[in-house]
Homo-oligomer: A and B are copies of this chain.
């Protein structure tokens, strides 16, 4: 029997992260005055050691021993051959999924939550503050803080707070405080509540609250933490692709296609970035970030300078954006409901190195159910988008009669999202695919900002 899983030992875990900033050219982030910002401007928000990592162009960055010690609670994660899915599709393609759902919070998010908590603690920080939408990121930071004995506070978008009580319970089990946003604890929260006491909240407001709570702590011992988009987050996630590469090496394989879903871009970057240099050097590998057709940042939105948050507190970032005030339709993959995209991922798209794809909601759930009934594991709603694209590629391989190797990041399980599957089965879900016309209006918001240059890295 061919082994279904490829394991690495803990000794074989990567000891360094790969920093893509060494290999691509980037437009700088801009301040309110339209000029590139210096690291010191971020100091009240993030600890300086993480800011240094954010701007570093060193190709390989050592993973601290203390971080490795915690990552190995669940890492190296298995690379699994999706034999049953292949059989169900009758495809000659070989499908390998990197199972990031094996972490305690059930997703790839702790790959960055753990080093972020480590660097904050090393810098003398006592308390980390963040926001969470669907709850994956808040759970991951709660877990990481419990490992380092840090306080953790999570502002959770109220509608999710009410709908997903398990996520709050999970964060509390790890010792974190989780409160619904908007809250009466911050100016941003009080303003929002004054405007509408019954507001369901939004990720934009929650970010504002978390940043404000961190920055306004007069002891100086609190910092804010972000779970995607930023360079250091992409960096930490590259351990996924570096492991996958070693695992494929072990069985003498190299991917023809690499697929990951992309909301802010971090799980996609994690699996894909370690293969990007090969592609830039002419290797024949297709790399597909996959987004929901209901939030088509990469496939339909322009490459512009825009704010990372709704309120406009963050620097202007060079990225594909639907406009920072864009409110996506109410589809269920909460982790993909983001108006922008990581600047590094956006840059690779503008250069044609990676090719974005989009998937409709119903096709995503159909893929998720097929995966569950063949491979056993129930995927997170976000992950189903990547799997739908895998199925498209596997069908194409069947038509073409090609024995392609497909590598996909299985970013998380759906055990805390089962109500969404319930809705799918009851027929209560629909597609919310957006057209060019739908999104035209929202783009006007960044017309006043400078335009990024179209840079060519090679």
Contact = CB atoms under 8 A, between A and B. Distances in A.
Contact of A169 (B170, B375, B419): B419
Contacts of A173: 369, 372-373, 378, 418, 421, 425
Interface string A390-427: 00000000000000000000000001101101100100
A3 interface: yes
Q: Which of A10, A69, A143, A173 has the most CB of B within 10 A?
A: A173
A4 B166 CA distance: 29
A172 interface: yes
A146 B173 CA distance: 33
Interface string A1-45: 101110101110000000000000000000000000000000000
A372 B174 contact: yes
A418 B170 contact: yes
A106 interface: yes
A378 B104 contact: yes
A193 interface: no
Q: How large is the interface on A (under 10, 10 to 19, 20 to 34, 35 or more residues)?
A: 35 or more
A70 to B, nearest CB: 8
Interface of A: 1, 3-5, 7, 9-11, 65, 68-70, 72-74, 80, 84, 102, 104, 106, 143, 146-147, 165-166, 168-170, 172-175, 369, 372-373, 375-378, 415-416, 418-419, 421-422, 425
Given A146-B376, A166-B166, A169-B419, 16 more contacts: A4-B10, A4-B73, A74-B376, A104-B372, A104-B377, A106-B415, A143-B376, A146-B372, A165-B422, A166-B415, A169-B425, A170-B378, A170-B418, A172-B425, A173-B373, A174-B372
